[in-house]
Structure 1
Amino acid sequence: MHIIAHRGASAYAPENTFAAFEKARELGAGFIELDVQLTKDGKLAVIHDDKVDRTTNGTGFVRHFTMKELETLDAGSWFSPSFQGEKIPDLEAVLHKYHNKIGLLIEIKSSKTQPGIEKAIGRLIDRLGPSANTIVQSFDAGAIMTLHNLYPSIPGAVLIRPRFGMLPYGRLRHISSFARYVSLKHTMLSSFLIKSAHSHDMKVFAWTVNGRKTGRRLQSWNIDGIITDYPDYFKKEGKA
């Protein structure tokens, strides 16, 4: 079972910053989950929201800033004064720092409002050389299909909210044609769903798991990875 630090170790440091990513490594996470948004100048900023308001001292949409402008914002003080001066990372810098050193689960937030984001991410990963431990995920299955068509060696994951705890066989079969993983909210998971995904040669991640008891139950169901704000609550095992 892989321990995936949600936006880094976001219970202990400001989400989607190098402080959170380093804390995740310190606490033994096998993967770092992070979010990306396209900037005005076509760079990839590591930030969850489409606006900077919640996690920085700035205001406005990420897409209206250049990467250099975003890097002038304080992305740490909202969490704690001790993190004052923490910056919004550039995905390229994150990849250079962690590629083949720790797993990366990179989430595309909105491909519809950010045309070309799949190609931008794929180009960066491909430049460093694809890794089985660098995965791109999205709720938008079309974005992962596009990425697969452009860069078939980059593993993809589709985030899913199943209806009534069920995933139709046909949908799983379709997703398995372009993705290696599915990621589901832990409250929607069952051992049957996990077995179904496994039968289509896909691995399953659960989000966001912050209780040890839940983690143990999921592990007994042979979950492949859990996404958590508290990576130190769980034991890291194996590689993707």
Structure 2
Amino acid sequence: MQIIAHRGASAYAPENTFAAFEKARELSANFIELDVQMTQDNQLAVIHDDRVDRTTNGTGFVRHFTMHELEKLDAGSWFSPSFQGEKIPTLEAVLQKYHKKMGLLIEIKSSKTQPGIENSLGKLIDQFGFSLNIIVQSFDPEAIKTLHRLYPSLPTAVLIRPRLGLFSRHQLQYISSFAQYVNMKQTMLNPFLIKSVHRHGMKAFAWTVNGQKTGRRLQSWKIDGIITDYPDYF
């Protein structure tokens, strides 16, 4: 079972910063999960929200900033004064630091408002070399289909939110045509669904798992990985 640090070890350090990523490595996580947004100058910034307001001392949409302007913001003080001065990283800097050293689960956040992000992301990863330890995920299956068409060697995942009704075999069959992973909210999962994912040739990650009892139950069901704010719990 892979242990994936959600936005880094985000229970212990400000999310999507090198402080959180280094803490994840210290706590022996297998993967770091992180989010990317496109900047005004078409750079890939590592930040979850489409606005900077919640996790920095700035205000406004990420896509209205250049990367240089984003790097001037304080992305640590909101979490704790001890992290004052922590910066929004570029995806390129994260790849330079962790490629082939830790797994990276990279989430495309806003493909609709950031046209071309799939190609920009695939092109950047291609410069470092595709590997099984870099996976790109999104809640938008069309973004993942586009990425798979452009870069078929890049492992991909579709994120699934809970919804009314069962998650059908036909949906799994469709997703398996362009993705290798189905990543679901932990409340959706049961042993039969995980087996069905495996029968369709895919793997399943559960998000966001912060209880050890839940983690043990999912492990007994043969989950392939859990995404957690507390990688040291597992």
What SS does the aligned partner of 2:120 have? helix
Aligned residues: 234
What SS does the aligned partner of 1:4 have? strand
Q: Show the counterpart of 1:173.
A: 173
Structure 1: which amino acid aligns with 2:60? G
Question: Once superposed, which parts of structure 1, at least 4 consecutive aligned residues long, lie more than 4 Å away?
Answer: none
Q: CA deviation at 1:169?
A: 1.1
Q: TM-score, normalised by structure 1?
A: 0.96
Could you report, residue by residue, the CA deviation over 1:51-97 in whole angstroms, capped at 9, with x for unpaired residues? 00000000000000000000000000000000000000000110111
**1:6–1:208 Cα contact (<8 Å) kept:** yes
Q: Show the counterpart of 2:142.
A: 142
Q: Does 1:216 align with 2:221?
A: no
Q: Show the counterpart of 2:232.
A: 232
**1:165–1:189 Cα contact (<8 Å) kept:** no
Q: Show the counterpart of 1:237.
A: none
Could you report, residue by residue, the CA deviation over 1:167-219 in whole angstroms, capped at 9, with x for unpaired residues? 11111011001100000000111111101100000000000000000000000
Q: Show the counterpart of 1:35.
A: 35
Q: CA deviation at 1:161?
A: 2.1
What SS does the aligned partner of 2:118 have? helix
Structure 2 Cα separation of the partners of residues 166 and 191 of structure 1: 14
Could you report, residue by residue, the CA deviation over 1:122-149 in whole angstroms, capped at 9, with x for unpaired residues? 0011111101010000000000000000
Structure 2: which amino acid aligns with 1:15? E
Return 5+ residue gaps in structure 2 as ranges: none
Return 5+ residue gaps in structure 1 as ranges: 235-240
Q: 1:57 to 1:162 in 2, by over 3 A?
A: closer
Q: 1:165 to 1:5 in 2, by over 3 A?
A: farther
Structure 1 Cα separation of the partners of residues 26 and 165 of structure 2: 35
Q: CA deviation at 1:231?
A: 0.1
What SS does the aligned partner of 1:48 have? coil
Structure 2: which amino acid aligns with 1:65? F
Q: Show the counterpart of 1:114.
A: 114
Structure 1 Cα separation of the partners of residues 36 and 62 of structure 2: 10
Q: Show the counterpart of 2:154.
A: 154
Q: CA deviation at 1:165?
A: 6.1
Q: 1:162 to 1:54 in 2, by over 3 A?
A: closer
**1:160–1:183 Cα contact (<8 Å) kept:** yes
The percent of aligned pairs where both chains have the same amino acid is 79
Alignment of 1:90-105 (within 5 A): 90-105=90-105
Q: TM-score, normalised by structure 2?
A: 0.99
Q: CA deviation at 1:166?
A: 2.1
Structure 2: which amino acid aligns with 1:84? Q
What SS does the aligned partner of 2:136 have? strand
Alignment of 1:11-90 (within 5 A): 11-90=11-90
Q: CA deviation at 1:164?
A: 4.2
Structure 1: which amino acid aligns with 2:65? F
**1:166–1:193 Cα contact (<8 Å) kept:** no
What SS does the aligned partner of 2:152 have? coil
Structure 2 Cα separation of the partners of residues 84 and 16 of structure 1: 14
Structure 1: which amino acid aligns with 2:228? T
Could you report, residue by residue, the CA deviation over 1:82-118 in whole angstroms, capped at 9, with x for unpaired residues? 0000000000110111001000000001101110000
Structure 2 Cα separation of the partners of residues 9 and 130 of structure 1: 24
